[in-house]
Chains A and B, each alone.
Chain A
Amino acid sequence: MYFDLLIPSQLAGALIPDLILIIGAMLLLLVAVWGPETMARARLTGMLAIGVCFATFAAVVWLWHGQATASAGIIAVDAFRWATDCIILAATIIATTLMIDYSEREQLVSAESYVLLLLAAGGMMLLAASRDLIVVFLGIELMSIASYVLSGLDRRSSRGAEAALKYFLLGAFSTGFLLYGIALVYGATGSTDIETIGSVVTGANFNNPLLLAGIGMLIVGFCFKIAAVPFHMWAPDVYDGAATPITAFMAAAVKAAAFAAFLRVWIEAFPGATAAWMHPLQWLAALTMVGGNVIALQQKSMKRMLAYSSIAHAGYLLVTVVVANALGASAFLFYLVAYTLATMGAFAVVIALGEPGERNQQIADYAGLWNVEPWLAAAMAVFMMALLGFPIAGGMGFFAKFYVIDAALHAPHPQTALAVILVIASVISAGYYLGVVLVMFMKPRPADALVVRPVPTGTFLVIYLSAFTLLLFGILPNGFAALARESVPIGMVSSPARAPVAAAASR
């Protein structure tokens, strides 16, 4: 399949998955509001949303399998996009499943939340595809606006309202940085197309102050979205205040999509200015890894602990952006799969054990879980080990960290210091990940502990399928790793061909 992106019908062809998702979301909006607001209708909307996600998934796999290619243009048609799409859709399906069970528990009737989840996923898929800074901006806005609303969904909760307002204000602020950065980069290079920017930004002319300011602003804007230290201040409060399935969605999918766009822009647009952004990004990665983990150590609430842990993971993922080559991109994809499954699974356990009103979510409430719910405790242990990167018991988590370290050490500019910091940060993170395991397995169950409710079917499936997948591909990582190796951005595939041309031109 070949798409000429300048012809509108073929552009639509290259966007079939995105179109299915967004049109599906619009039709679902009609289903959601066509009648009285009841729990049954909300549940139906949620089920249909999962159906739309699976249809989109099928379209993505069809295009991926058909090895679709396209002319250079506003969106990318490459394996990196399809792989990221699959991760985003999996996260959306899981979040929707959890949301259905969570709404039932909290008596939260909101059929529109599923529409917003789908539209946010649509923005994320655009981010994964974008090869133009304008599309990056619109994708981020689509994703963010939906997330602002989702975090304030439960209007009975004052913490939810605080989270939504905080997220909205800081999100709008960071969007300003991003947009200003895009404008400055456009001013310096005369284009918003990242391939054109990449061909203009070469070693000789990267000292243009306009371009440097633009790159700086872009770094700030992206780092706000991925919650890297010191731009992480909003994350713990927002993650803590939002409904737990939405927190899981934000911690996994929103972060993944913002990172995918970050990585693609950095790999394709700014390899010529490496000297300018290398040091700031190294510092950001190091600060995020250490800062996120050190603060996570002191958390008492499970949700806050997972929020800081997701900040720390942003730091590990930033290492792949610093590396900014094919190896980094494939390590990034592998890491994202493991991180998404483990985070989603951990939040699913939090939902399974939570009580109405978001109670029973302190780490201390998990004491002695092994004695009453051994399978649940075992699954949670797998997720914690996976986030820690423990071999065998952590499944894919170990290989995810392994590939990131491998990419860091084999980069054109070897990032030995970052690899060392990554290992040290992981050791620090053992303090709280293993702390949860310790509490669950070693502490006795307190006499006044609440009886665990039966786990709803959807949450049950999410928990055990995630744990099973993590363990299975932890034993057999080769297939996944090979797939990740092939799924690099299109700019990486063509760059060896472009290099001799550039060399010839300079002669």
Chain B
Amino acid sequence: MNTLLYTFHFYLFGLISIASAVAFVTRKSPVAAALWLVNTMFCLSALYVMLDAQFIGAVQVLVYAGAIMVVFLFVVMLLNLGQASDVTDMRGLGGRLTAGLVGLAMLAELFALSRIKFPRLTGAMGDHANVVNPISAPLFHEYLLPFEVTSVVLLVAVVGAVVLAKRGPGAS
């Protein structure tokens, strides 16, 4: 049963992530494409959690789906690449009604959950308590050099961006 559920979830998230990736490269509007990429990132983080790498899953959401994609969207919007006609949040009446209903259902769920006392899940936590160690130990021992070199790569990228973008002495 557990294996079946696992397989089901694997295919669920795997297929959604592949479908989102396909949507990402086929969308015309950059904003829509970026949002599909966020979706892919979320599905990947679900797969990481299924592999017992909860920390990577969380970082994936925070860094990729969160920070990087927000910056990406920010740049897209600053450059005004999204076609105004495509990017609109004014949908039809049905959409608004559905959104309102979903919102109400979630509010009800929150209300119900705060009242009902579920038994706490404790036993299983012990196995996963130490999820950062398997990443941090190799990072600072075995892969110390690549880790440090990454910072130099980032330095070059920053210097390069400034060199290319700064106003030269001759330019007005």
Per the bound structure, the CA–CA distance linking A29 and B157 in Å amounts to 14
Residue in contact with A142 in the complex, picked from B152, B164, B170, CB distance below 8 Å: B152
Known: A37-B169, A109-B168, A142-B153. A134 touches B159 (CB 8 A): no
Complex interface: stretch among A145-153, A271-279, A454-462, A471-479:
A145-153
Known: A109-B168, A135-B146, A149-B163. A22 touches B152 (CB 8 A): yes
Per the bound structure, the CA–CA distance linking A156 and B149 in Å amounts to 32
Which residues of chain B from 142 to 172 have a CB within 8 Å of any chain A CB? 142-146, 149-150, 152-153, 155-157, 159-160, 162-164, 168-171
Q: Is B120 an interface residue (CB 8 A)?
A: no
Residue in contact with B164 in the complex, picked from A6, A109, A123, A155, CB distance below 8 Å: A155
Per the bound structure, the CA–CA distance linking A142 and B146 in Å amounts to 11
Write the nearest CB–CB distance from B133 to chain A, whole angstroms. Answer: 18
Q: Which residues of chain A come closer than 8 Å to B117, judged between CB atoms?
A: none
8 A-B pairs whose Cβ atoms sit less than 8 Å apart in the complex: A22-B152, A37-B169, A119-B152, A123-B153, A138-B153, A146-B156, A146-B160, A149-B156
- Evaluate contact between A110 and B146: CB separation under 8 angstroms: no
- Evaluate contact between A152 and B168: CB separation under 8 angstroms: no
Question: Which residue of the partner chain B has the closest CB to A39?
Answer: B169
Q: Which residues of chain A come closer than 8 Å to B162, judged between CB atoms?
A: 112
Write the nearest CB–CB distance from B68 to chain A, whole angstroms. Answer: 16
- Evaluate contact between B156 and A119: CB separation under 8 angstroms: yes
Per the bound structure, the CA–CA distance linking A132 and B142 in Å amounts to 11
Per the bound structure, the CA–CA distance linking A156 and B171 in Å amounts to 9
Q: Which residues of chain B come closer than 8 Å to A110, judged between CB atoms?
A: 163
Q: Is A8 an interface residue (CB 8 A)?
A: yes
Known: A6-B141, A134-B143, A135-B145. A119 touches B168 (CB 8 A): no
Per the bound structure, the CA–CA distance linking A164 and B168 in Å amounts to 17
Q: Which residues of chain A come closer than 8 Å to B164, judged between CB atoms?
A: 149, 152, 155, 164
Residue in contact with A138 in the complex, picked from B142, B146, B163, CB distance below 8 Å: B146
Question: Which residue of the partner chain A has the closest CB to B168?
Answer: A155
Write the nearest CB–CB distance from B92 to chain A, whole angstroms. Answer: 40
Per the bound structure, the CA–CA distance linking A490 and B159 in Å amounts to 35
Q: Which residues of chain B come closer than 8 Å to A132, judged between CB atoms?
A: 146
Q: Is A284 an interface residue (CB 8 A)?
A: no
Q: Is A141 an interface residue (CB 8 A)?
A: yes
Per the bound structure, the CA–CA distance linking A126 and B149 in Å amounts to 9
Per the bound structure, the CA–CA distance linking A119 and B164 in Å amounts to 16
> 10 tightest CB-CB pairs across the interface, nearest first?
A149-B160, A138-B149, A134-B146, A112-B163, A145-B156, A119-B156, A142-B153, A146-B156, A141-B153, A37-B169
| Prevailing SS type, chain A contact patch | helix
- Evaluate contact between A122 and B152: CB separation under 8 angstroms: yes
Q: Is A11 an interface residue (CB 8 A)?
A: yes
Q: Which residues of chain B come closer than 8 Å to A148, judged between CB atoms?
A: 160
Number of interface residues of B (CB under 8 A): 22
- Evaluate contact between A11 and B156: CB separation under 8 angstroms: no
- Evaluate contact between A142 and B144: CB separation under 8 angstroms: no
- Evaluate contact between B155 and A11: CB separation under 8 angstroms: no
Q: Which residues of chain B come closer than 8 Å to A153, judged between CB atoms?
A: 163
Per the bound structure, the CA–CA distance linking A6 and B138 in Å amounts to 11
- Evaluate contact between A112 and B159: CB separation under 8 angstroms: yes
- Evaluate contact between B155 and A26: CB separation under 8 angstroms: yes
Q: Which residues of chain B come closer than 8 Å to A155, judged between CB atoms?
A: 164, 168, 171
Known: A26-B155, A122-B152, A156-B170. A145 touches B146 (CB 8 A): no
Chain A window 146-168, contacts with chain B (Cβ cutoff 8 Å), 1 for yes, 0 for no: 10110011011000000010000
Chain B window 40-68, contacts with chain A (Cβ cutoff 8 Å), 1 for yes, 0 for no: 00000000000000000000000000000
Per the bound structure, the CA–CA distance linking A138 and B147 in Å amounts to 10
- Evaluate contact between B168 and A142: CB separation under 8 angstroms: no
- Evaluate contact between A145 and B145: CB separation under 8 angstroms: no
Per the bound structure, the CA–CA distance linking A54 and B155 in Å amounts to 23
Q: Which residues of chain A come closer than 8 Å to B143, judged between CB atoms?
A: 74, 134
Chain A window 117-139, contacts with chain B (Cβ cutoff 8 Å), 1 for yes, 0 for no: 00110110010000010110011
- Evaluate contact between B163 and A116: CB separation under 8 angstroms: yes
Question: Which residue of the partner chain B has the closest CB to A113?
Answer: B163
Q: Which of A26, A29, A115, A142 has the most CB of B within 10 A?
A: A142
- Evaluate contact between B153 and A145: CB separation under 8 angstroms: yes
Write the nearest CB–CB distance from B35 to chain A, whole angstroms. Answer: 22
Q: Which residues of chain A come closer than 8 Å to B163, judged between CB atoms?
A: 110, 112-113, 116, 149, 153
Question: Which residue of the partner chain A has the closest CB to B145?
Answer: A74
Write the nearest CB–CB distance from A180 to chain B, whole angstroms. Answer: 14
Per the bound structure, the CA–CA distance linking A120 and B169 in Å amounts to 25
Q: Which residues of chain B come closer than 8 Å to A134, judged between CB atoms?
A: 143, 146
Q: Which residues of chain A come closer than 8 Å to B169, judged between CB atoms?
A: 37, 109
Question: Which residue of the partner chain B has the closest CB to A140?
Answer: B153
Write the nearest CB–CB distance from B152 to chain A, whole angstroms. Answer: 6
Per the bound structure, the CA–CA distance linking A142 and B159 in Å amounts to 12
Which residues of chain A from 1 to 25 have a CB within 8 Å of any chain B CB? 6, 8, 11, 15, 22
Residue in contact with B160 in the complex, picked from A15, A37, A116, A123, CB distance below 8 Å: A116
Chain A window 415-441, contacts with chain B (Cβ cutoff 8 Å), 1 for yes, 0 for no: 000000000000000000000000000
Q: Is A342 an interface residue (CB 8 A)?
A: no
Per the bound structure, the CA–CA distance linking A412 and B152 in Å amounts to 41
Besides the contacts A146-B156, A149-B159, A155-B168, what 18 more A-B pairs have beta carbons closer than 8 Å?
Answer: A6-B142, A11-B144, A26-B155, A74-B142, A109-B168, A110-B163, A115-B159, A116-B156, A119-B155, A119-B159, A122-B152, A123-B153, A123-B156, A134-B146, A138-B153, A142-B149, A142-B153, A149-B156
Per the bound structure, the CA–CA distance linking A350 and B171 in Å amounts to 28
Q: Which residues of chain B come closer than 8 Å to A400, judged between CB atoms?
A: none
Q: Which residues of chain B come closer than 8 Å to A119, judged between CB atoms?
A: 152, 155-156, 159
